[in-house]
């Protein structure tokens, strides 16, 4: 167990890290973006000003504060300031449709809604707020907008701010991340300060890099963004480079120019980066660790990064656990990286629940974890919260696997239907409901098929209403209005009748087999 894996380390709040570094290394660079660089002292001051302004605006402990943004300093300031006063921060993805935004805003009911996104890109948010009800949208498009909002906090007494912060408990939620289950209905997972701090300490120890420089370029509503790519570097006192999204050209230039040491990305991004024509010509001498989670990194990518002389680290986790459950062992072989997700973190209790409802040490079953830092619950869903745990308090991951004799965990499937595409969790029922809402659709089933670029992509099997002329392009346009583009199925297959099991349910096993045969839109319309 790492020396950082202690009760003292996990008794901290995620908002404590920046003030601590502001005292010990005030002039160390904390954040870098295209137009704003902040030292730890400057970042701490910005967080204090924004926290005071949030209090002046009426934000109370437990309230939600939402921000639509891409990764940038305002995102980090908003998150830390909100968490520091005991409120819960909510990231909104600019790629979400108004339907998706309406749901999460209605469910979370944030006290304040901010956006750094302007123009046409904010249309979905404006439409969603109109559906939600009277709720002003506070623009933070420029630094001057942030300064104008923060000016209202100048009247907040410093003692009042300190008093609000003093009662925030490490077990309190700091972040809400919406994730879906087998029903496709998003659930707001409330993630604790202590979970984010634990993730930061354990992951930083696993990467073992001195004076780390990292980059955050993942969507702000994703646990990997707020957790792995913001909480980890800030707790570690790293320099964090902020970019609006993944761009292979820009990332290669940033590695060389900013001397990035630690690169944590989803496998699809690492594949694209490693296959870039300029990869071999780029100065990668600063890069010490390449890490990923969510799905395996292909063998060819492993070879490319090994030849670049970096250490490889894979992880496995889930939003509800907050901390990663497993890490690859130091010096892990290609076989272990390709076929396992590493060994359980010694500080995280991990057990396998067999189909017979009994714990097993040798068999296959559902992976369950237990730790004080896992999610506090699902917002507004006490029954779903109870169902997420066993009767004796173990978090059910929904993933099926077994432990090998070498201690590595092998994932063999999922108890739920969720699949991952390009690092995103895709929930079939949500997509099916959208497609079935089309007036010419009678029934729909979405299953994954393997994909060399995105790991898996969706295939929608559609049973149209008799006599309709429904086609793939019509459904693509229909989905585009209601779903983020990464959720839209890559293939639409039209059948007179979906295959059914004897009990009357759709036979998704048969559809998965058909999808794996490489069906395309062409020639599938009955």
378 and 187 Cβ atoms separated by less than 8 Å: yes
The yes-or-no verdict on residue 165 having pLDDT over 60 is: yes
315 and 341 Cβ atoms separated by less than 8 Å: yes
**H or E element at residue 119:** none
Q: Which two tokens stand for residue 281?
A: 């010509």
Sequence-distant (≥ 6) Cβ neighbours of residue 107 within 8 angstroms: 178, 186, 188, 379, 380
Nearest to 432 by CA among 187, 97, 184: 184
265 part of a folded domain: no
With 0-12 / 13-18 / 19 or more C-beta atoms within 10 angstroms meaning exposed / middle / buried, residue 522 is: exposed
The pLDDT, as a whole number, for residue 523 is 40
- Lowest model confidence (mean pLDDT) among 6-15, 113-122, 238-247, 331-340: 6-15
User: How far apart, in whole angstroms, are the C-alpha atoms of residue 283 and residue 288?
Assistant: 12
User: How far apart, in whole angstroms, are the C-alpha atoms of residue 182 and residue 201?
Assistant: 32
425 part of a folded domain: yes
289 and 261 Cβ atoms separated by less than 8 Å: yes
Q: How many residues does the chain have?
A: 526
291 and 300 Cβ atoms separated by less than 8 Å: no
Angle at 165 between CA 162 and CA 168, to 5 degrees: 155
User: How far apart, in whole angstroms, are the C-alpha atoms of residue 315 and residue 265?
Assistant: 11
**H or E element at residue 308:** none
214 and 287 Cβ atoms separated by less than 8 Å: no
Higher pLDDT: 188 or 6? It is 188
CB neighbour burial string for 379-415, b if at least 16 within 10 angstroms, e if fewer: bebeebbeebbbeeebbbbbbbbbbeeeebbebeebe
Cα 449 from chain centroid (whole Å)? 22
The pLDDT, as a whole number, for residue 159 is 95
302 part of a folded domain: no
* CATH code where residue 443 lies: 3.30.300.30
- Band of residue 5 on the pLDDT scale cut at 50, 70, 90: very low
460 part of a folded domain: yes
**H or E element at residue 128:** helix 123-132
- Band of residue 525 on the pLDDT scale cut at 50, 70, 90: very low
515 and 448 Cβ atoms separated by less than 8 Å: yes
User: How far apart, in whole angstroms, are the C-alpha atoms of residue 312 and residue 306?
Assistant: 8
- Band of residue 495 on the pLDDT scale cut at 50, 70, 90: very high
User: How far apart, in whole angstroms, are the C-alpha atoms of residue 434 and residue 429?
Assistant: 9
R_g over Cα of the chain? 23
With 0-12 / 13-18 / 19 or more C-beta atoms within 10 angstroms meaning exposed / middle / buried, residue 521 is: middle
User: How far apart, in whole angstroms, are the C-alpha atoms of residue 234 and residue 232?
Assistant: 6
Alpha helices in 364-447 (DSSP H): 382-387, 428-436
For 452-471, what is each residue's pLDDT tens digit? 889 899 999 999 988 899 99
User: How far apart, in whole angstroms, are the C-alpha atoms of residue 117 and residue 94?
Assistant: 8
194 part of a folded domain: no
Model pTM score: 0.84
Helices (H) and strands (E) in the chain, counts: 19, 26
CB neighbour burial string for 282-305, b if at least 16 within 10 angstroms, e if fewer: bebeebbbbbbbbbbbbeebbebb
User: How far apart, in whole angstroms, are the C-alpha atoms of residue 349 and residue 355?
Assistant: 20
The pLDDT, as a whole number, for residue 517 is 80
The pLDDT, as a whole number, for residue 521 is 56
SS3 category, 81 = helix
303 part of a folded domain: no
Q: Which two tokens stand for residue 466?
A: 């008799």
Q: Could you tell me the end-to-end alpha-carbon distance of the chain, in angstroms, rounded to an integer?
A: 59
135 part of a folded domain: no
- Band of residue 131 on the pLDDT scale cut at 50, 70, 90: confident
The pLDDT, as a whole number, for residue 3 is 33
Mean pLDDT of 135-150: 94
The yes-or-no verdict on residue 1 having pLDDT over 60 is: no
203 part of a folded domain: no
**What's the domain range around 434?**
419-516
Q: What is the 3-state secondary structure (H, E, C) of 430-482?
A: HHHHHHHCCCCEEEEEEEEEEECCCEEEEEEEEEECCCCCCCHHHHHHHHHCC
Higher pLDDT: 365 or 64? It is 64
- Beta carbons within 10 angstroms of residue 2's beta carbon: 15
SS3 category, 500 = strand
The yes-or-no verdict on residue 374 having pLDDT over 60 is: yes
- Lowest model confidence (mean pLDDT) among 209-223, 265-279, 402-416, 451-465: 402-416
Structural domains in the chain (count): 1
């Amino acid at each position: 167990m790492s020396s950082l894996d202690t009760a003292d380390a996990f008794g901290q709040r995620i908002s404590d890290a920046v003030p601590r570094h502001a005292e010990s290394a005030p002039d160390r660079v904390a954040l870098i973006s295209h137009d704003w660089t902040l030292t730890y002292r400057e970042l701490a001051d910005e967080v204090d000003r924004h926290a005071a302004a949030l209090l002046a605006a009426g934000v109370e402990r437990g309230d939600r504060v939402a921000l639509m943004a891409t990764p940038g300093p305002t995102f980090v300031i908003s998150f830390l300031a909100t968490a520091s006063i005991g409120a819960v921060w909510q990231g909104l993805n600019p790629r979400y449709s108004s339907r998706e935004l309406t749901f999460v805003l209605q469910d979370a009911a944030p006290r304040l809604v901010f956006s750094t996104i302007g123009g046409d890109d904010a249309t979905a948010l404006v439409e969603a707020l109109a559906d939600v009800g009277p709720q002003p949208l506070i623009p933070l498009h420029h630094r001057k907008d942030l300064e104008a909002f923060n000016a209202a906090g100048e009247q907040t007494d410093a003692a009042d701010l300190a008093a609000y912060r003093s009662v925030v408990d490490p077990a309190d939620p700091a972040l809400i991340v919406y994730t879906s289950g087998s029903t496709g209905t998003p659930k707001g997972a409330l993630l604790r300060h202590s979970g984010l701090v634990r993730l930061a300490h354990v992951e930083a120890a696993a990467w073992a890099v001195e004076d780390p420089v990292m980059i955050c370029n993942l969507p702000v509503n994703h646990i990997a963004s707020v957790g792995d790519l913001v909480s980890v570097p800030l707790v570690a006192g790293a320099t964090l480079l902020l970019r609006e999204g993944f761009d292979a050209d820009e990332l290669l230039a940033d590695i060389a120019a900013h001397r990035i040491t630690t690169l944590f990305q989803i496998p699809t991004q690492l594949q694209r980066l490693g296959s870039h024509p300029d990869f071999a010509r780029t100065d990668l001498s600063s890069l010490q660790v390449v890490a990923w989670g969510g799905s395996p990194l292909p063998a060819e990518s492993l070879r490319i990064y090994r030849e670049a002389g970096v250490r490889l680290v894979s992880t496995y986790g889930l939003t509800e656990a907050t901390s990663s459950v497993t890490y690859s062992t130091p010096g892990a072989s290609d076989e272990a990286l390709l076929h396992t997700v590493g060994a359980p973190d010694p500080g995280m209790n991990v057990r396998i629940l067999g189909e017979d409802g009994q714990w097993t040490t040798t068999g296959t079953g559902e992976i369950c974890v237990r730790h004080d830092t896992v999610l506090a619950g699902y917002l507004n869903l006490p029954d779903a919260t109870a169902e997420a745990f066993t009767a004796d308090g173990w978090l059910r991951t929904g993933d099926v696997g077994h432990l090998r004799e070498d201690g590595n965990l092998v994932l063999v499937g999922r108890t739920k239907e969720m699949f991952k595409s390009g690092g995103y969790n895709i929930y079939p029922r949500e997509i099916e409901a959208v497609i079935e809402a089309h007036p010419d659709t009678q029934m729909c089933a979405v299953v994954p098929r393997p994909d060399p670029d995105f790991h898996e992509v969706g295939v929608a099997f559609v049973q149209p209403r008799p006599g309709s002329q429904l086609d793939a392009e019509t459904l693509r346009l229909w989905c585009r209005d209601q779903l983020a583009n990464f959720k839209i199925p890559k293939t639409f297959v039209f059948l007179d009748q979906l295959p059914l099991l004897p009990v009357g349910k759709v036979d998704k096993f048969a559809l998965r087999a058909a999808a794996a045969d490489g069906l395309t839109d062409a020639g599938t319309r009955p």
